[in-house]
Structure 1
Amino acid sequence: MEPIYLAVFFLALVALGEVLSIKSRAKIPTLLVVIGIVFILLQAEVLPPEFIEATTFVAFGSMLVPILIVHLGTMIPLSVMKKQYQAVIITGIGLLISVVSVLTIVTLLFNYETAVAGTGPITGGIIAYLITAEGLRAAGLTTLVAIPVTIFALQNFIGMPLTSILLSRYAKSIRTDTDNHHYAKLAAATDQKKQAKKPLIPERYLESNFIILFILFCGGALAVFLDQITGINASLFALVIGVTGTALRAFPEKALEQANSSGITMVALFFVVLASLVGVTWNEIVASIAPALAIMFIGITGLVLGGLIGAKIFKWKPTKAIPVVLTALYGFPGDYLIVEEVARSTGRDEVERKRIMDELVAPMLIGGFTSVTVGSIAIASILIGTLS
């Protein structure tokens, strides 16, 4: 079959997932719909495994992974992270307790390899999942790949509703708060500071999509090169390159979006995830249910406990601190969409809705960035390295 026909078929599944996600207000993740349908078709032998590779998107997506991670490093400036240091620390506490708990308890209940298979996905999103799945295959632990698949598919259904409930309670407690422009002022100060700093590359050149892509590919290539000479996972280097490059203003913020290339990159990444399903059997999924549920219970309990401790330290309400940590279970855009929905449904007028958005959107985005973009990639890369 022609690759274009296969691509249309798989993109139809992505479009269906998007429709369901929009209708459910992000409670049904797009990727979960695509993974579920493709897995069923593979198991029923309706979809030949070689069809996924035949789209040519898999090779393209694999090449784009380090470029995407460099892009993730450009998503939120260091200046904003510094102003939201409390959200960063609270999220870090949650990740630490979650990781230590999973590695300790799950190793005792099952084994160390099983604990590692679940730790990356429970602390982050799609990139942590890919690092874990590819690392398990490289280490010859293919039977364990079903564990991150199961966790990745199910954790959204726990994290997103729980976050929505807690944030709704918090929003009701702040909707009459008079300090309604705190985060807007921070953002304005950040913009002024950013404008005062001269970029390394003249801005007129960064208006070119091709130049931005060239810089991103250079960053991704450098990360892969450093991996080859040091043995340290390229994901870590790519993340550092993205964050550092943005701080030095060598990269524009949200680089792939500036280059109008984020959509096709995410589509290619979907195919890399789908390729990881090839070879995973229904029996392996069933066998992974027990360890996956144990990992999720222990890991999520650790995240919640970290949120409670962080709330105590910084005198935050638990209904705000815990959701910030729970962003590890779904990340962006779920974190933003939940805040938007909470503000829309809880605020009684436009002023209150803006007040709720200003109060919650910055710490939630920073929490997701800290966990999904930074923490989970580092955790998954380091732990997978211990298996080789």
Structure 2
Amino acid sequence: MEPIYLALLFIAIIAIGEVISIKSRARIPMLLVVVATVFVLLQTGILPESYIAASTFVAVGGVLVPVLIVHLGTMIPLKTMYKQYQAVLITLIGLTFSVVGVLTLVTLFFNYETAVAGAGPITGGIIAYIVTSEGLREAGFTAIIAVPIAVFTIQNFIGMPLTSIFLSRYAKKIRTDEAAAAVEVEEVDAAEQEQEKSYLLPKAWMQSHFVIIFLLFAGGALAVFLGQLTGINASLWALVIGVAGAALRFFPEKSMDKANSSGITMIALIFVVINSLIGVTWGEIVASLLPVMVIMVIGIAGLMLGAVIGAKLFKWDINKSIPVVLTALYGFPGDYLIVEEISRSEGRNEAEQKRIMDDLMPPMLIGGFTSVTVGSVAIASILISTL
């Protein structure tokens, strides 16, 4: 079959998953629909395994992984991180308790490899999953590849309802809080601010999509080279290169978005996830259910414990700190959609809705970026290198 037909088939599945996600307001994640559909088609023999590689997107996605991680490093301006430093630190405390808890207790109950398989995905999103699953495959632990798949696809169903419960409680408190109404929310015209900044390279060059893509590929290639040279996972180098490059103005902020390339890149990345399903059997999925449930309970309990401790340290309401840390379980756009829904349902008038949005949106977005975009990639890269 022609690659274009195969690519169309898989992209149709992705599009259907996206429609379901939109209809359910992200309660049913697109990736869950895609992974479940492709897995069933593979297991029933309706979809031959060879079709995935024959679509040619898998090879493209593999090349784009370090490039995308460099882009992720450009997503969060250091100035924004500094302004929301409490949300960043509370999220990091939650991630620390979660990872330490999973590594300690899951290793005790099962083994270290199973703990590593779950620790990366429970603290983040698609990149952490890919780093973990590919690392397990390279290290020869193919029997437990079902663990990160299951953790990655299930955690949304626990994280989003929990977040909604705590945010609803917090919204009820702040909607009539006069002190909250007086909080000044700084709104910055990002496009205008971006225009005022200077780059290391001529500004005219940085308006070119091709130049930006070249710079991202150069960063990704450098990360792979440094990974081979030092033995430190290339994903970690790619993240450092992205953050440092954006801070030094070598990369524009949100580089791939500026190059209008994020959509097709994410599709290629999803093909990498689909490809990781090859060789996974029903038996392995069933066998992974017990360790996955243990990982979920310990990991989420660690996130919430860290959030409570962070709330005490920074004098936050726990109904605000816990949702900020729980963004690790679903990230963007789930965090945005939940805040939007809570503000609309709990705010009794337009002024209260705005107050809730202004109070919750910045820390929730920063919490998600800190965990899913940065923290989980670093955690997964470090842990997988210990196998």
- TM-score, normalised on structure 2? 0.96
Contact 1:146–1:285 under 8 Å retained in 2: yes
The 5 A counterparts of 1:273-288 are 273-288=273-288
Measure the CA separation in 2 of the matches of 1:181 and 1:384.
Answer: 46
What is the CA distance between 1:38 and its match in structure 2? 0.3
What is the CA distance between 1:109 and its match in structure 2? 0.5
Measure the CA separation in 2 of the matches of 1:152 and 1:57.
Answer: 22
- Between 24-33 and 338-347, report the one with greater CA deviation: 338-347
Measure the CA separation in 2 of the matches of 1:193 and 1:214.
Answer: 24
What is the CA distance between 1:342 and its match in structure 2? 1.4
- Between 9-18 and 275-284, report the one with greater CA deviation: 9-18
Measure the CA separation in 2 of the matches of 1:292 and 1:210.
Answer: 43
Q: Give the gaps of 5 or more residues in structure 1.
A: none
Q: 1:189 to 1:262 in 2, by over 3 A?
A: closer
Aligned to 1:7: 7
User: SS in structure 1 opposite 2:203?
Assistant: coil
Pair 1:304 & 2:343 matched: no
- Between 100-109 and 164-173, report the one with greater CA deviation: 164-173
User: Sequence identity of aligned pairs in percent?
Assistant: 68
Contact 1:180–1:358 under 8 Å retained in 2: no
Give a deviation string over 1:298-341, Cα, whole Å, max 9, x none.
00000010111111111111110001110111111111121122
Aligned to 1:89: 89
- Between 111-120 and 176-185, report the one with greater CA deviation: 176-185
What is the CA distance between 1:193 and its match in structure 2? 7.3
Q: 1:355 to 1:384 in 2, by over 3 A?
A: same
User: SS in structure 1 opposite 2:205?
Assistant: coil
The 5 A counterparts of 1:39-118 are 39-118=39-118
Measure the CA separation in 2 of the matches of 1:192 and 1:257.
Answer: 16
Amino acid at match of 2:268: A
**What root-mean-square deviation, in Å, do the aligned CA atoms of Structure 1 and Structure 2 show?**
1.6
Amino acid at match of 1:108: L
Measure the CA separation in 1 of the matches of 2:197 and 2:55.
Answer: 44
Aligned to 1:184: 185
Q: Give the gaps of 5 or more residues in structure 2.
A: none
- TM-score, normalised on structure 1? 0.96
Give a deviation string over 1:109-147, Cα, whole Å, max 9, x none.
011111111110111111110011001011100001000
Amino acid at match of 2:49: P
The 5 A counterparts of 1:19-30 are 19-30=19-30
What is the CA distance between 1:81 and its match in structure 2? 0.2
Aligned to 1:175: 175
Measure the CA separation in 1 of the matches of 2:12 and 2:278.
Answer: 20
What is the CA distance between 1:204 and its match in structure 2? 2.7
Aligned to 1:135: 135
What is the CA distance between 1:180 and its match in structure 2? 4.4
Aligned to 1:219: 219
Aligned to 1:158: 158
The 5 A counterparts of 1:252-331 are 252-331=252-331
Aligned to 1:237: 237
User: SS in structure 1 opposite 2:304?
Assistant: helix
What is the CA distance between 1:177 and its match in structure 2? 3.7
Contact 1:172–1:346 under 8 Å retained in 2: yes
Measure the CA separation in 1 of the matches of 2:141 and 2:95.
Answer: 25
Contact 1:117–1:147 under 8 Å retained in 2: yes
Q: Give the count of matched residue pairs.
A: 386
Measure the CA separation in 1 of the matches of 2:203 and 2:168.
Answer: 41
List, as ranges, runs of 4+ consecutive aligned residues in structure 1 with deviation greater than 4 Å: 178-183, 189-197
